[in-house]
Homo-oligomer: A and B are copies of this chain.
Amino acid sequence: MITQVNGRFSTTEMESVLSVSALVCSMVDFEAALSRVQSSIGIIPEEIGVAITAACQNVKIPAEKLEILAPNSGTLAAPFLAELIAQVSEQNADAASYLHFGTTSQDLIDTASVLSLREAGKLLEAEMKALATALSELAKEHSNTVMLGRTMLQPSPQVTFGLKVAHWYGAISRAITRLQEANKHALTLQFGGVVGTLSAFGKAGIEIAEALGSELGLTVPPAPWHTQRDNLVELASAVGILAGSLGKIAIDIVLMMQFEVQEVSEPMLAGRGGSSAVPHKQNPVGCLVALSASRKVPGLVSTMMNSMVQEHERAVGAWQAEWPTLVDIYSNTAASLTAMKDVIEGLNVYPDQMLDNIKNTQGLTYSEAVSVALTLKVGRSDARRLTEVASRLAIESDTSFEQIILNSYDILNVINRDELTELFKQKGNLGVSQEFISRILNNRY
């Protein structure tokens, strides 16, 4: 469900998986898993892993308090550990002694972040698939629904609404694949110890890393990535691109929802879209959420990218800039995604109005078809001249372009009337629109 947190759009689900509380839970999981692994490999006493894991199940770490203390060291790690150690100590002082052994803040924070982003990615993926399904159905339903094409917001030859929707689908479909790939690259274990050498474990380091990855269900990369953030930025970009593709859907719908166009409208969801001053005005509030996200996310992704310049073995500032930026990227995009899913699932489509809008152009959108047909008879320059004369006449005399054309001796001299009439069939020449729709829909994520 779309919600707002301190003014920022999000979904309640995304807020939950990206909350500080969720992050803290993942941090507890990390420390418990690490102790189990170290016990099983014999780095720390055998019973400690079980004891820590048991104790961890009873800890209650107050997320807000950690946030108040975090600025003292730059991240949640230090206050979290102080709290965790204190709470585990109360239960089992001996076990507490082995907490966080041989690891470091960055291992803890980065791995916990990855665990949160994994959940966040699942939410996005499920919602993208639901949106893709809705788009696919809408595209099929309207594969023959003819409407004006519009280039630079000016009327152009016809397309089908189904083709437009299929393009929206294509982008979401690619976004799914892109996110999956980026997740594969970015959602890996961070485990390197103080400077990324796992110095506390002698030769056992790799073995511990593999076991820890296995405990947490995370791939173990060739080496830690503490100051190599490229995969994380790839992930941020993938989400940012999704926000852009959703913005594209939204702008099309907003434009079609204009009173003067009226080709589609957002569904009237309960409580949605009312104006505080004008009764019975329906605002495109789903699109609003998506367009707002597509304005905010690019700047956030640029922050992720310029934060890649991280000094030596741990950055001062650039690393710490990432997490809140990621939270903003995911939250805004999640809200956008749910908003557009809701919009598409209930979109009202007005095919008659689409035909009316074509009719209102008085046939001028057929000028390309006429020009093409004439070119094949008399070559480009004569074709262009003939079409332009007819266009100008249509505009000046406020007559339909079709009538002008069908009554032009110059034109009837070079092309026969039946061929011309064919060009003006209301549905226009849709080329391979159908094939394009099939090709896009078949090219599944």
Contact = CB atoms under 8 A, between A and B. Distances in A.
A197 B431 contact: yes
A103 to B, nearest CB: 8
Contacts of A293: 321
A102 B372 contact: yes
Contact of A153 (B234, B312, B392, B436): B312
Interface residues of A, number: 195
A197 B436 contact: yes
B195 A247 contact: no
Interface stretch (A123-131, A211-219, A255-263): A255-263
Interface stretch (A54-62, A74-82, A343-351, A411-419): A74-82
A287 to B, nearest CB: 6
Contact of A206 (B159, B237, B432): B432
Contacts of A310: 248, 251
A19 to B, nearest CB: 7
A309 B241 contact: no
A328 interface: yes
Interface in A185-207: 185, 193-203, 205-206
A163 B305 CA distance: 23
For chain A, what secondary structure do more than half of its interface residues adopt (helix, strand, loop), or is it mixed? helix
Interface string A300-319: 11110111111111111110
Interface string A422-445: 000000111111011101101100
A376 B202 CA distance: 14
Contacts of A199: 157-158, 368-369, 372, 428-431
A96 B440 CA distance: 34
A292 interface: yes
17 contacts: A2-B71, A97-B375, A101-B372, A152-B315, A156-B194, A157-B194, A167-B223, A193-B277, A198-B431, A234-B241, A259-B361, A279-B388, A289-B320, A291-B317, A293-B321, A295-B318, A298-B305
Closest CB pairs A-B (n = 7): A291-B317, A244-B308, A97-B379, A149-B195, A151-B314, A197-B431, A299-B299
